[in-house]
Structure 1
């Protein structure tokens, strides 16, 4: 069969299966992209998501499509990603959407909101529900197209100089807490601080803040929080399954060939799965090491959880009365969450509860 006819009839999937992909890739132009990250290089898990994406793009294009990753502060501030991508300063950014709730609260729905979805549910909403469609419609106003590119799984609730025993202990608490969740903390009487990951340790060490949440044992241990605050809380009611996104400038994306667009999507999806796999593999040992070195675990009391739940729902209702974007996306999000919780209550929770009660 003549080669052009073969390519036309087989399509990309057939070409890959037949081993003819190199000819297709070699026909593409050489491209270089820069990704600005919101994270420090020291965090090989969350910062590493962008590096995993970049590596896969290079591998799948035979080096024709090169992507370089730049840590927070190298090209722009950690929380400057949306502006940088929207303005075309960089082709892409790797960040957590809720950092930008100040522009529009709807950003938070693309990552995590208090008492939202767990990581599996979030991925399901994005890929099989309306999540990706609705968020892309929203991001279009910023000339951005997003790709799910990581998830940490459920997080810990942070490090405290003193344990939280009741709602009274939240009053006046100066806590580093990411993005949108700070709005709920304010309603509970706390004093939220939105501080980039690379600056949290110094703020906690100097007493500028009383507590700080970041992600979980593996990353928290790397950042040394246990050295300056001995009490470690769980669970993070604000982050049941936060998604990290690859934000791509619309013009840069539209300039890609269909093959390169497919490769961007495939590489982002690979990085998405890879990040959570890393966290799930690394967190158990890190938690054991932290406890062995004196970390004191405690569970947030029920009155704190109940207070946070009420404050969160009150906030969502208020936002819905004044933000049409939020109202549209949250309505779908909430419906999906209700359906997911109905299912997880039986099979998933039933299995997990039994297994976690066993001595293995």
Structure 2
């Protein structure tokens, strides 16, 4: 295993700078971004839309070239490669880097809505107006990363997952070997007695086919259907707490970002803010179409999640959050910011959403 920082801080970093200089000589700066997923994924569709907005806002001066996972470095090395200058930028979920700092989870996937009822829309409110953005910028310094991050794609809530047979209680749930996300969300399942198995997305379907695992979660109806879960499992549960909020983000090498003009930097910021809204809008419709297709054309049966799951998972998530806050000062600072925001915003937002949920459920029941 090579050390990315050692290799690239010198020669490779200068190569990046040279490539930008050559591009700029022709009136265009090309920023190469490696993703951690397939080029066909919905997240990459939305990432390209963000890039097109930046190009339009800069009158063609800045263009993003999107590279699929593994083009230059492995998925696990993506952030280190951005930091070192081996690639101009990366695209991933920030909780992927929880091994570098536990607070990364609070930005990429705050378990159980950070334990304080924050959904994906409220999370964007915290990020933009509740102090979250300033803490997000501080995260990279806490990690010691030469990175400028942009939050682009809030998703959620993610589905509980897919099962061979219906589950009516936590006792049923505990019978299954269940694929979960890594880090705190997966550990929380272990804490409530579920046999949690963390694995990469590309390994899930083969593991289900071989019987290595019996049940699994990935994301939401559209990404799940692209993975092909419906070919193996037919019982689907939408309501889950492990990733009520999930964000896919852009990471730029800080030297690359600093080389841009103030107007170009502002264009990226404006396009990122637009992406926060467009990503949620895109996901609602795409997931709706996918769920309709799954239930009408693939024999998938949609169930409500057992009631005893929610207190069990929430209590375990809170205990995990408290443990991490006690062990890490910056984690505690970010979580306190989310708790302070929630104390003000969640009572209002949850109350308002109750009307929306009742309205929507009445219509959904009529469609059934």
User: Same-fold call, TM > 0.5?
Assistant: yes
User: How far apart are residue 41 of structure 1 and its match?
Assistant: 2.1
| More helix, by proportion | 2
Contact 1:49/1:275 (<8 A) preserved:
yes
Supply the distance in 1 between the matched residues of 2:62 and 2:314 (Cα, whole angstroms): 46
Q: 1:151 aligns with which of 142, 154, 165?
A: 154
Label 1:105 to 1:195 Cα distance change in 2 as closer, same or farther (>3 A).
same
1:348 is matched with: 353
C-alpha deviation, 1:227, in angstroms:
0.6
Q: Summarize deviations over 1:18-57 as a string: whole Å, max 9, x none.
A: xxxxxxxx999532211111221232x2122221222222
8 Å CA contact retained: 1:100, 1:179: no
**Residue 316 of structure 2 is aligned to residue 318 of structure 1:** no
Structure 2 matches for 1:25-44, cutoff 5 A?
30-43=28-41
Query: Alignment partner for residue 72 of structure 2, among 72, 75, 88?
Result: 75
Q: Distance in 1 between matches of 2:76 and 2:197?
A: 14
Deviations 1:65-94 (A, max 9, x none): 221111222223333322122222212111
Per-residue CA shift, 1:313-335, capped at 9, x if unaligned? 11111111111111111111122
Q: Aligned in 2, Cα 1:352/1:305: closer, same or farther, shift over 3 Å?
A: closer
TM-align CA RMSD: 2.1
* Residues 215-246 of structure 1: per-residue CA shift (max 9 Å, x gap): 11111111111111111112121122212111
Q: Give the 3-state SS of the residue equivalent to 1:238 in structure 2.
A: coil
1:258 pairs with 230, 237, 262, which one? 262
Structure 2 vs 1, CA of residues 163 and 142 (structure 1 numbering), >3 Å: closer, same or farther?
farther
Residue in structure 1 matched with residue 103 of structure 2 by the alignment: 106
Q: Which deviations, in whole Å up to 9, do the C-alpha atoms of 1:162-200 show, x marking residues without a partner?
A: 333322234363322223311111212223333333332
Counterpart of 2:275 in structure 1 is: 271
- Aligned ranges for residues 37-186 of structure 1 at < 5 Å? 37-43=35-41, 45-116=42-113, 117-140=118-141, 141-171=144-174, 173-180=176-183, 181-186=185-190
Asked if the contact 1:218/1:283 (under 8 Å) is kept, the reply is yes
How far is the alpha carbon of 1:142 from its aligned partner?
A: 1.6
The change in CA–CA distance for 1:188 and 1:147 in structure 2 (over 3 A counts) is same
Runs of 4+ in 1 over 6 A off after TM superposition: none
Look up the SS of the partner of 1:302 in the other structure: coil
User: Normalising by the residue count of structure 1, what TM-score does the alignment of the two structures yield?
Assistant: 0.86
State which drifts further: 71-80 or 120-129. Answer: 71-80
CA contact (8 A) 1:119 1:242 kept: yes
Distance 1:173 1:355, change over 3 A: closer
Matched, 1:217 2:221: yes
The residue number in structure 2 matching 1:207 is 211
What is the CA–CA distance in structure 2 between the aligned matches of 1:210 and 1:263, rounded to whole Å?
46
| 2:334 counterpart (316, 329, 336) | 329
Could you list the per-position Cα deviations for residues 108-137 of structure 1 after superposition, in whole angstroms to 9, with x for gaps in the alignment? 111222221211111111111111101211
CA distance in 1, matches of 2:94, 2:343: 23
CA gap of 1:267–1:230, structure 2 versus 1, over 3 A, is same
Q: How many residues align?
A: 334
Instruction: Judge conservation of contact 1:319–1:327 (CA < 8 Å) in 2.
Output: yes
Partner in structure 2 of residue 249 of structure 1: 253
Query: Within 2, Cα distance between the matches of 1:227 and 1:316?
Result: 36
Aligned to 2:202: 198
Give the structure-2-normalised TM-score.
Answer: 0.85
Q: Does the CA contact (< 8 Å) of 1:122 and 1:243 recur in 2?
A: no
Deviation of the 1:285 alpha carbon: 2.0
